[in-house]
Amino acid sequence: MNITKKLNHLDLKLIAIIKRIGRFADKHNIRAFLVGGFVRDIFLKIKNFDIDIAVDKQGINFAQFLSKKLNLKIISHQRFGTAILSLGNLKVDIATLRKEAYPYPGSLPVVREGSLADDLARRDFSVNALAVGINKDDFGMVFDHFNGLADIEHKDLRVLHDKSFLDDPTRILRLVRFAARFNFSIETKTLNLLKQARLAGALENMQKQRVREELFLIFEELEPEKAIKLLDKLYGLKFIHKNLRLAAADYQRSVKVREVCDWFEREFYSRRKIDIWLMYFIVFLSGLEVDELEAICKDFVLKRGESIRLLSFKRSQDIFKKLNKASLKPSEVYNILNPLSYEVILLFFAEIKNKQARRHIINFFKRYNLTRIKLTGNDLKKLGVRPGPRFKELLGLMFKQKLNSRLLTKYQELSALKRLIR
């Protein structure tokens, strides 16, 4: 099968770059193929700007050469002849064809150079094991060693061999992620192999740190609750924490989180980007106790900022109750909310029904959070205040007044400051 026509219908920028990569490969006597999710998504008619390329030799050199010729930035070098290049929203992954062997279940693979057939055989599912030639003599030619095309057509996910999940249990997480994303079924034998992996405790036996990346990718999906629900049904969630149990309501909460994030991004598009994946993760873990969450932070080696947000959501439940009072002054609302991250505040916003508390949070985002005093240290010095603790105290008082009395101009601030000094 040849899909030159389909390739020519890709986004102009994509096809131009693919053709140039093919020509460079020809010039250097290298065989180059499109592989992985990029090929899968061509057949699924899904836009994908992450091009996966496999070459038969010297992946790193080829990537360095391409980066110079095509003016692409090399953003990372990885193990065994792979590199990632970027150009705006476009990413090009270059890897050398390889063969992998797993000395024991769940181990890191032993990797050496291999043929195209070896490289396709090491992959997770048949739908991800297609390759398309981009050299001149086989441009558009599809290499389908594992019947991936038929599986795409039947919307089936199928592993390539019986030991797949035992070799690399993170494929279980990939399986539910793709099944949920594409609404694909899991082929019967693959389902049985998954059950065997569950009985063998494949994910539980793995270091959590090694599961982390694939687990977090689930939370980056548009509707992660679908994949988590499927994971819970087919494998269970004990590998995350032995006491983790989810009920129907927990999946509903995740929908709420999405609504709140959509609202926030629409209304406050210029603020910092929120880590929505972390919010989903926090929501699903919120039934656990603080010490259990601390264990998760440690086992999954969460970054400091991630751990702080995860724990602070649990620890701040009482703090948020204070927002139910209508009589709170803006500065009081500010003092409650400002120490918390956007993610934690939005998670509460997704859950609370109290009208007053909701109003306070909206005001915090709309006004208080953006408030800055216009007066500077110099203005204070001009009024005779010497730098020191009094200086800081006055600026703090000014800020409070600015919030509570809505001082808008520098002149108003100055008058208020003079009154304070007096």
Q: Provide, rounded to whole angstroms, the least separation between the CB of residue 218 and ligand ATP.
A: 10
Site string for ligand ATP, 95-124 (x = CB under 6 A): ----------------------------xx
Where b means 16+ CB within 10 Å and e means fewer, 73-98 reads ebeeeeeebbbbbbeeeebbbbbbbb
Could you give the CA distance from residue 279 to residue 216 in angstroms, rounded to a whole number? 11
> CA-to-CA distance for 207 and 214, rounded, in angstroms?
13
Q: Is 52 or 250 the residue whose CB approaches ligand ATP more closely?
A: 52
Residue whose CB is less far from ligand ATP, 172 or 380: 172
Determine the size of the site formed for ligand ATP (CB under 6 A). 10
Which residue of 67, 96, 126, 128 would you call a contact of ligand ATP, by CB under 6 A?
A: 128
Q: Smallest distance, Å, CB 182 to ligand ATP?
A: 10
Among 21, 22, 33, 52, binds ligand ATP (CB under 6 A): 52
Rule CB under 6 A: choose which of 126, 135, 170, 190 binds ligand ATP.
170
Q: Per CB under 6 A, which region of 18-26, 167-175, 283-291, 374-382 contacts ligand ATP?
A: 167-175
Q: Which is nearer to ligand ATP, 275 or 413 (CB)?
A: 275
CB of 186 vs ligand ATP, minimal distance in Å? 16
Q: Which residues make Cβ contacts (< 8 Å) with residue 27, sequence separation at least 6?
A: none
Query: Per-residue x/- mask for ligand ATP, residues 237 to 276, rule CB under 6 A?
Result: ----------------------------------------
* In the complex, least distance from residue 390 CB atom to ligand ATP, rounded to whole angstroms: 56
What phi, psi does 142 have (nearest 5°)?
A: -95, 130
Tell how strand 82-87 and strand 90-96 pair up. Answer: antiparallel
Residue 182 or 268: which CB sits closer to ligand ATP?
Answer: 182
Q: How far are the Cα atoms of 18, 48, 155, 264, 276 from residue 273, in angstroms, in the given order? A: 31, 22, 34, 10, 9
Pairing of strands 50-55, 90-96: parallel
Q: Which of 151, 168, 232, 413 contacts ligand ATP by CB under 6 A?
A: 168
306 touches ligand ATP by CB under 6 A: no
DSSP 273: P
> Which tokens is 200 given?
């063998």
Q: Min. distance of Cβ 149 from ligand ATP in angstroms?
A: 15
| Residue 113: partners with Cβ closer than 8 Å, 6 or more residues away | 57, 81, 96, 97, 98, 99
* Structure-token pair, residue 208: 């959590």
CB under 6 A: which stretch of 58-66, 168-176, 273-281, 298-306 binds ligand ATP? 168-176
User: Taking CB positions, which residue lies at the least distance from ligand ATP?
Assistant: 37
DSSP state of 185: E
Residues 314-333 binding ligand ATP (CB under 6 A) are none
Of 186, 248, 253, 244, the C-alpha closest to 215 is 244
CB of 280 vs ligand ATP, minimal distance in Å: 16
CB 53 within 8 A of CB 33: yes
Using the rule CB under 6 A, which residue among 6, 37, 163, 369 binds ligand ATP? 37
Q: Residue 274: what residue type?
A: I
CB of 80 to ligand ATP, least distance (A): 13
Give the x/- contact pattern for ligand ATP in 131-150, rule: CB under 6 A.
--------------------
Q: Report, in Å, the least distance between residue 254 CB and ligand ATP.
A: 19
Distance CA(37)–CA(416), nearest Å, equals: 61
The length of the chain is 422
What distance in Å separates the CA atoms of residue 193 and residue 179, rounded to the nearest whole number?
16
Distance in Å, CB of 184 to ligand ATP, minimum: 13
| Residue 94 to residue 276: CA distance in whole angstroms | 29
In the chain, the N- to C-terminal Cα span, in Å, equals: 86
- Return the residue of 36, 81, 106, 133 that touches ligand ATP, per CB under 6 A: 36
CB closer to ligand ATP, 124 vs 151: 124
Q: Which residue, 171 or 229, has its beta carbon nearer to ligand ATP?
A: 171
Q: Please identify, using beta-carbon distances, which residue of 52 and 56 lies nearer to ligand ATP.
A: 52
Question: Cβ distance 346 to 312 under 8 Å?
Answer: no
375: exposed, middle or buried (Cβ count in 10 Å: 0-12, 13-18, 19+): buried
Q: Residues interacting with ligand ATP, by CB under 6 A?
A: 36-37, 50, 52, 123-124, 128, 168, 170-171
